[in-house]
A and B are shown apart, each in its own frame.
Chain A
Amino acid sequence: MLYLDHAATTPMRPGVWEAMAPYAADAFGNPSGSHGVSRRAKNALEEARERVAAHLGCAPAEVVFCGGGTEADNLAVKGPAFAAGRGGVVTVATEHEAVLESARFLHRLGHPVTIVGVDRFGRVDPDEVAAAVGPETAVVSVMAANNETGTLQPVAEVAAAVKAANPKTAVHTDAVQAFMAGVDVDELGVDLLTLAAHKFGGPRGVGVLYVRRGVQIEPVLHGGGQEMGRRSGTVNVAGAVGMAAAMDAAAADRERFAADVAEARRRFEAALVGKAERTVPVDHTLVQHSHLRFAGVRNDTLLIRLDRRGVAAAAGSACQSGATTPSHVLVAMGYRPDEARECVRFTFGWTTRPEDGDVAAGIVLDALEANR
């Protein structure tokens, strides 16, 4: 089986499960207690927080562990908006549903919300974002890299333009897809940043929201006041430890990853010239994303043929029943629904070898061949 859906989730990095296991077994303590069992868990949690902070270039106290990317996005959008009373939100049409639906929810509650469009490649114009920012804008959310197309947004430029328009507005970036590309919060100039462990070789069910010191957020989950009051609920210690371990392993592997994945992708796309076209030029996307349009071929049909041949890829977003629907990302980029239905996402990952690009292309060609 050739797994080319690493943007959906990627296998755990070696050593991660082993690092987590003690905190699911002997060291099971609730880090909030005062006895020895708790202390051991608390120590592991705080050590994990320090390691995560080091990767983000921030202070440990600015790291909030939570239940994953969706939860972190909810907190990042709703948190500042609620903290400001009825604070406004500015975001982009191609954001993940976790951001867009949070913004739409706030809109229903009466918060001012602006959704900015994108160009043909899915890029937002920083000036257009800044122009939408007003005195009431509590948060601007612009993703680092798109989950479907891999399109990189000019986050640093957006942050600078937003701060020039309103220094009090918090800038959030959903960096769930972008860990391998680097996520230094000061380089990006952001106040809030979302990560999910399972996208870079950690476990499911744990994520982080970076919250820059001084940024006011109202919690989404109210309760016992864990994570300095920003995210209540008994902290998932094993998950936090696994996330830190995965970050260490993934960060140490960045150069090799970029080289192998780029080579696999290059070979893959070279073999498909004339059959498929990239929706976004290489230099505007993550290195691991090959988002292709196969003119005249329906993506659900192609995906089923690929599944039969042992290649796992994806299209658009899956609804609850699993039927593929035209992607809101591609619609925002100006594709008609029938054109959007011709696009397939192949995403390479840390287990990909360069020659996988050749193998995958051969299988895609075979699947297309049968179509005629």
Chain B
Amino acid sequence: MRVLAAMSGGVDSSVAAASMLEAGHEVVGVTLKLWSGPNGEAPTAGCCTVSDAEDARRVAAQLDIPYYVLDYSEVFMDGVVERFVADYASGRTPNPCIECNRTVKFSRLLDHAAELECDLVVTGHYARTRLEGGRWRLLRGVDAAKDQSYVLSMLDQDTLARVRFPVGEFTKDETRRRAAELGLRTASKPESQDICFVGNGDYRDFLRRVAPETERPGPIVDTDGRRVGEHRGVATVTVGQRRGLGVAVGEPRYVVEVRPDTATVVVGRREDLAVRELVVEEISWVAGEPPADRDVEVQYRAHGEAVPGVVGGSVVTLAEPAFGVAPGQTATFYRGDEVLGGGIITATR
């Protein structure tokens, strides 16, 4: 088959492309140019920097495959950056990488791949897919520490048929070893953790620059409504956050709620963070429909555990209270290693 490999310039996507080539496919490498800042400045981190695109280009040359840079800056701005800013402004904690998967990589890029006469899109995500009985299943990656299935819960039968995640079958060490065996220049390249369009690792600086309106100071109150301090803007705090509030009252205080309309941040004790129900919207199911049995395990942050719960419509009821669930984050539903679906948490109670 002819395969479009989305190459970020990192080791995982390099090995993903190489694996498809080894498997006998015709591979075309692309890097998505997602971002040039409001003033056209080059990004400093992530998959759209010039040096990362250069690494991808050099790996493609080493593999002797065609390679192109595709300009996705408009769709990325509309689909990811604007929502990121709007979410923070409304007191949510967005996950832009998931939004990018939803609106860019596994939608626009899939369509584009077909236009470029490719049958499949390959990325360097740590997750596995299986075709069983005519149905596609999505599973956690082999390497539990690197598993990225949490950020892929928007995939459905149609998209799974057109994507492959070769490194999901490997541990990270195996991926690096394969890269080293192939002599790929990215073999020992450090992992990038930053949000690609933010740069310097501080999203608060970014928000201050692109959306100064999110920097509206306001009161910090306790759960009884008593004013205990002042914050620098609702976008600077996240539900569950403890440090950096400037509130000293002897025992630890956590952000338990953000009220954007009055620019109020509510702090409380750890037990005030406890929630039993998540309101989840934009739910999608890998199978195309919810499972008959609604008992699932719910993961509500990227590196957290999955906890038992029951999905009823848009309300997920947890078996045990959860702490520090931030609206805006994704809830991914599992059964064991298998991803069943997921959506965006809009409220908790």
Which residues in A have some Cβ–Cβ distance to B below 8 Å?
298, 300-301, 304-305, 307-308, 319-325, 370-371
Contacts and interface: CB of A to CB of B under 8 A. Distances in A.
B1 interface: no
* Chain B residues touching A, majority SS: mixed
Shortest 5 CB-CB contacts between residues of A and residues of B: A323-B71, A322-B69, A323-B69, A323-B33, A321-B53
Interface string B34-48: 000000000000001
In which size bucket is the chain B interface?
10 to 19
B117 interface: yes
Contact of B71 (A307, A320, A325, A371): A325
Nearest to B67: A322
A321 B115 contact: no
A322 B66 contact: no
5 contacts: A301-B112, A304-B66, A307-B66, A322-B53, A371-B115
A308 B66 contact: yes
B31 A321 contact: yes
Contacts of A319: 33
A305 B53 CA distance: 21
Given A308-B66, A322-B53, A301 B71 contact: no
B112 A321 contact: no
A308 B116 CA distance: 9
A300 B117 contact: no
Interface in B11-62: 28, 31, 33, 48, 50, 53, 57
Contacts of B182: none
A319 B40 CA distance: 12
A321 B69 contact: yes
Contacts of A307: 66
Given A300-B71, A321-B50, A321-B53, A370 B117 contact: yes
B70 A323 contact: yes
Given A304-B66, A308-B66, A321-B33, 9 more contacts: A300-B70, A301-B112, A304-B116, A305-B117, A321-B31, A321-B69, A322-B53, A322-B68, A323-B33
Nearest to B49: A321
Nearest to A325: B71
Contact of B116 (A301, A320, A321, A324): A301
Contacts of A325: 71
Contacts of A300: 68, 70-71
Among B48, B66, B68, chain A packs the most CB atoms within 10 A around the CB of B68
A300 B53 CA distance: 17
B116 to A, nearest CB: 5
Contacts of A308: 66, 117
Contacts of A320: 50
B115 A324 contact: no
B10 to A, nearest CB: 16
Contacts of B50: 320-321
B118 to A, nearest CB: 10
B69 to A, nearest CB: 4
Contacts of B31: 321
A310 to B, nearest CB: 11
